[in-house]
Chain A
Amino acid sequence: MLQSGGQNLDTEPESGALELEAGAGELGSGRPPRQGYWRLVGRQFGKNRMSVGGLCILLFLFVVALLAPFLAHEEPIYLHMDGETYWFVNVRDIPELRRVNFGQWEPGEGEAMIQPPIPHSPLSVNLRRRLEAPSSDHWLGTDDRGRDVLSRMIWGCRISMSIGFVAVGIAASIGVVVGALAGYYGGYVDSAAQRLIEIMMCFPQLILILALLAFVPEQNIFIIMVVLGVLGWTGIARLVRGEFLKLRESDFATAARATGVSDVRLMFRHLLPNALSPVLVSATFGVAGAILMESALSFLGFGTPPPTPSWGEILSQSQTYINRPDGSWWLVTFPGVAIFVTVCSFNLVGDGLRDAMDPRLRQ
């Protein structure tokens, strides 16, 4: 039995007794560039132009969603009024300005105001300007309450993106835990999880969501997120289960077990990082699916409750006015294109990720 490791271990290997492998000598000198896994994936992903394009569009949409108050709002970014200077009125609550309607207010003598590029709030109603076609004032027209469509689309981007990500976040968390337990423990745990997944997959998702929403007394976007998340984890759970079934037999899992690592640590620290690639791909597709599902629900009138702007909600208004001479085409086209482009981008990025992570395609 070793009593003190330091004493026994600190001698350098003698050159005669132990010839260093050629590679050990290489370590100091010209070592190859660092090849982390994600670096490899990144390089492979960069080769796929469509996916890179999709990623660029998504990044643009994230920026739009983040900067919504600075892109489309009545309240000014900079205001000089009554001898006082205010900054960032659009994102701060300033009590003395609460009563000012910046939709009508014009700066007088010695006063100044810098508004965001689209000086319309998503919720400010102007019934005199209902259903106007795109013009220089309202770039993408107005809806049936005279609200600016572009402003609502920019704010709707926030809503749609958060629904997509939060729903998939919930779905992935449930899916990873269920899949990990099922795959790792196998046997009865696995059978139970598999039957549950099969039962859930039997129901058409849209109908199940509508049925669930019927039980909710008050609708808001968080409920939509949770419902989409709670019903969407089955695919991810199956993926993770499959990966865990494979990984738990691997030598490094046995090595960790031989080290004395606990089951939880083994599952989440050793196996999960190796099982995440397919989850990431599936989650990317999942975000697209969730956005699409939210739009479909809103279109049917079960989704985001008005007046909260979301793409599907704007789209749903167009149903009523499709019979007008101009067909209120701007209400159909712009949110439709936004949904289409976003969903396409997520799918392209997901495709690219899947290809980049596939070891068989890698050089």
Chain B
Amino acid sequence: MSMSTDGPLLEVRNLVKHFPVHSGVFGRVAGYVRAVDDVSFSIPRGKTLSLVGESGSGKTTAGRCILRLIEPTAGRILFDGSDITELNRRQVRSLRRRMQIIFQDPYGSLNPRMTVYSTISEAMAVHGLVPRPQRRERVEELLRLVGLSPDAADRYPNEFSGGQRQRIGIARALAVEPDLIVADEPVSALDVSIQAQILNLMEDLQQRLGLTYLFVGHNLSVIRHISDYVAVMYLGRIVEYGSVEAIFNECVHPYTRSLLSAVPEPDPHRKRERIILRGDTPSPINPPPGCHFHPRCPDAQPECAQRRQRLVEVAPGHTAACHVHAPAPEQLVSPMS
């Protein structure tokens, strides 16, 4: 695999994942869930990009497609400059040395019948990274790195608390010395007090090991804390993308604004606008035409139901997909009928 030091570590172009929906006795395909619908983004080395959205917005699916844990329907994923969507099974296995995942549920993500040592050392064995005699030492080193005592190695996951298990999960991900870690809501199943510890650990590890994170989440306070860049997803599409400052301070898209207005405000005297959306998230099997958000959008215009808006640059490095707040430049010149 070619190694280029410049350029983004991960670049996703027009990623699509449709899940067929079967019905009836013979499993006829009745429709498709458009879990990820034409999504593009990129992550520079050593940075953190967050995918934010409600449940069902496709953020987890996107993360798993990048790891090739789910086969994407279409699109290209460039990792370190080379396309990984075409790799065969063997090549995918070696790819997994460089990409790892941290899971949401610390109780389900560790094999209850394997000791912490076998869980962490397995990756080294599979990829032949560390010779057997040194594995023990390396596992203890990793445990220390994530803030656990080395004697945790011989114990089973059920002997640990949720936060400790999440640390074990992180140690497992680090065992292959990856470049990219997809963190799939790594703190949303934890107590608030422990969330901060895990986030600090992740930031600390990022600085020390030069990791790149794709962080999937829905808790905006967490996202703001950990991210460099944020991509807001709604029904399988990115509606707004930008640096964390741009998204949190100068957001353009009505959906982003309504999301941000839901973040609790610690100062009781500060007045703020609260946008409450009508209705539920539409079904991803049969999403609304045009802009997916238009049935719930407070600023919707007739044309929002007609055409899908692409991401348009509203400021350098800050894009949004909204007919009203981010009109495409060519539309100003020649409005289409």
* Contacts from A to B (Cβ < 8 Å): 1-2, 5-6, 8-13, 17-21, 23-24, 27-28, 31-32, 34-37, 250-252, 254-262, 265, 270, 273-274
Out of A1, A28, A252, name the residue touching B111 (CB < 8 Å): A252
Residue of A nearest to B172 (CB): A255
Out of B114, B145, B155, B177, name the residue touching A2 (CB < 8 Å): B177
Question: Which 8 pairs show the lowest CB-CB distances between chains A and B?
Answer: A251-B109, A27-B149, A260-B96, A273-B113, A251-B108, A2-B177, A260-B93, A252-B111
Q: Name B141-155 residues within 8 Å CB distance of A.
A: 141-142, 144-145, 147-149, 151-152, 155
- Are the C-beta atoms of A252 and B110 separated by less than 8 Å? yes
Residue of A nearest to B198 (CB): A21
- Taken together as a complex, chains A and B put the C-alpha atoms of A321 and B148 apart, in Å, by 74
Given A1-B3, A251-B105, A260-B97, do A19 and B197 touch, yes or no (CB 8 Å)?
yes
- Taken together as a complex, chains A and B put the C-alpha atoms of A6 and B201 apart, in Å, by 18
Seed contacts A1-B3, A9-B141; 6 additional CB < 8 Å A-B pairs: A2-B177, A8-B209, A19-B200, A28-B151, A260-B93, A274-B111
- Are the C-beta atoms of B94 and A260 separated by less than 8 Å? yes
- Are the C-beta atoms of B69 and A23 separated by less than 8 Å? no
CB neighbours (8 Å) of A1 from chain B are: 3, 98, 179, 210
- Taken together as a complex, chains A and B put the C-alpha atoms of A79 and B101 apart, in Å, by 71
Residue of B nearest to A261 (CB): B126
Which one, B160-168, B269-277, B300-308, is touching chain A?
B160-168
- Taken together as a complex, chains A and B put the C-alpha atoms of A152 and B85 apart, in Å, by 69
CB neighbours (8 Å) of A24 from chain B are: 147-149, 164, 167
CB neighbours (8 Å) of B3 from chain A are: 1
- Are the C-beta atoms of B96 and A259 separated by less than 8 Å? yes
- Are the C-beta atoms of A259 and B158 separated by less than 8 Å? no
CB neighbours (8 Å) of A256 from chain B are: 111, 122
Q: A-facing mask of B254-282, CB < 8 A → 1, else 0?
A: 00000000000000000000000000000
Out of A6, A12, A32, A259, name the residue touching B144 (CB < 8 Å): A12
- Taken together as a complex, chains A and B put the C-alpha atoms of A301 and B167 apart, in Å, by 64
- Are the C-beta atoms of A21 and B161 separated by less than 8 Å? yes
- Taken together as a complex, chains A and B put the C-alpha atoms of A48 and B156 apart, in Å, by 26
Q: A-facing mask of B123-142, CB < 8 A → 1, else 0?
A: 10011000000000010011
- Are the C-beta atoms of A18 and B172 separated by less than 8 Å? no
Residue of A nearest to B200 (CB): A18
CB distance from B170 to the nearest CB of A (A): 12
Q: A-facing mask of B290-309, CB < 8 A → 1, else 0?
A: 00000000000000000000
- Taken together as a complex, chains A and B put the C-alpha atoms of A139 and B111 apart, in Å, by 55
- Taken together as a complex, chains A and B put the C-alpha atoms of A252 and B165 apart, in Å, by 12
- Taken together as a complex, chains A and B put the C-alpha atoms of A250 and B111 apart, in Å, by 9
Given A27-B149, A260-B94, A274-B111, do A5 and B200 touch, yes or no (CB 8 Å)?
no
- Are the C-beta atoms of A23 and B163 separated by less than 8 Å? yes
- Are the C-beta atoms of A6 and B141 separated by less than 8 Å? yes
- Are the C-beta atoms of A36 and B156 separated by less than 8 Å? yes
- Are the C-beta atoms of B108 and A258 separated by less than 8 Å? no
Given A1-B179, A251-B108, A251-B109, do A258 and B159 touch, yes or no (CB 8 Å)?
no
- Are the C-beta atoms of A18 and B103 separated by less than 8 Å? no
- Taken together as a complex, chains A and B put the C-alpha atoms of A15 and B67 apart, in Å, by 33
Given A23-B163, A24-B148, do A258 and B126 touch, yes or no (CB 8 Å)?
no
Q: A-facing mask of B201-236, CB < 8 A → 1, else 0?
A: 100100011100000000000000000000000000
Given A2-B209, A6-B141, A252-B108, do A23 and B160 touch, yes or no (CB 8 Å)?
yes
B194: CB under 8 A from chain A?
yes
CB distance from B33 to the nearest CB of A (A): 16
CB distance from A176 to the nearest CB of B (A): 15
19 contacts between A and B (CB under 8 A): A5-B138, A5-B177, A12-B144, A13-B145, A21-B161, A24-B164, A28-B149, A37-B158, A251-B108, A251-B109, A252-B110, A254-B103, A258-B69, A258-B101, A259-B100, A260-B126, A260-B176, A261-B126, A265-B126
Residue of A nearest to B145 (CB): A9
Given A20-B147, A37-B156, do A274 and B112 touch, yes or no (CB 8 Å)?
yes
B169: CB under 8 A from chain A?
yes
- Taken together as a complex, chains A and B put the C-alpha atoms of A24 and B161 apart, in Å, by 9
- Are the C-beta atoms of A255 and B210 separated by less than 8 Å? no
Given A1-B3, A20-B147, do A35 and B110 touch, yes or no (CB 8 Å)?
no
- Are the C-beta atoms of B126 and A18 separated by less than 8 Å? no
- Taken together as a complex, chains A and B put the C-alpha atoms of A257 and B149 apart, in Å, by 27
Given A21-B197, A24-B147, A37-B156, do A254 and B101 touch, yes or no (CB 8 Å)?
yes
CB neighbours (8 Å) of A255 from chain B are: 101, 103, 109-110, 169, 172
CB neighbours (8 Å) of A250 from chain B are: 108
- Are the C-beta atoms of B123 and A254 separated by less than 8 Å? no
- Taken together as a complex, chains A and B put the C-alpha atoms of A12 and B142 apart, in Å, by 10
Out of B111, B141, B169, name the residue touching A10 (CB < 8 Å): B141
CB neighbours (8 Å) of A260 from chain B are: 92-94, 96-97, 123, 126-127, 176
- Taken together as a complex, chains A and B put the C-alpha atoms of A1 and B144 apart, in Å, by 21
- Are the C-beta atoms of A13 and B69 separated by less than 8 Å? no
CB neighbours (8 Å) of B210 from chain A are: 1-2
CB neighbours (8 Å) of B96 from chain A are: 258-260
- Are the C-beta atoms of B109 and A252 separated by less than 8 Å? yes
CB neighbours (8 Å) of B156 from chain A are: 35-37
CB distance from B289 to the nearest CB of A (A): 33
- Taken together as a complex, chains A and B put the C-alpha atoms of A247 and B156 apart, in Å, by 18
Out of B69, B114, B152, B204, name the residue touching A254 (CB < 8 Å): B69
Out of B97, B112, B167, B179, name the residue touching A37 (CB < 8 Å): B112
Out of B108, B126, B209, name the residue touching A259 (CB < 8 Å): B126
- Taken together as a complex, chains A and B put the C-alpha atoms of A258 and B156 apart, in Å, by 21
- Taken together as a complex, chains A and B put the C-alpha atoms of A20 and B193 apart, in Å, by 12
CB neighbours (8 Å) of B141 from chain A are: 5-6, 9-10
- Taken together as a complex, chains A and B put the C-alpha atoms of A27 and B148 apart, in Å, by 8
- Taken together as a complex, chains A and B put the C-alpha atoms of A258 and B63 apart, in Å, by 12
- Taken together as a complex, chains A and B put the C-alpha atoms of A31 and B149 apart, in Å, by 12
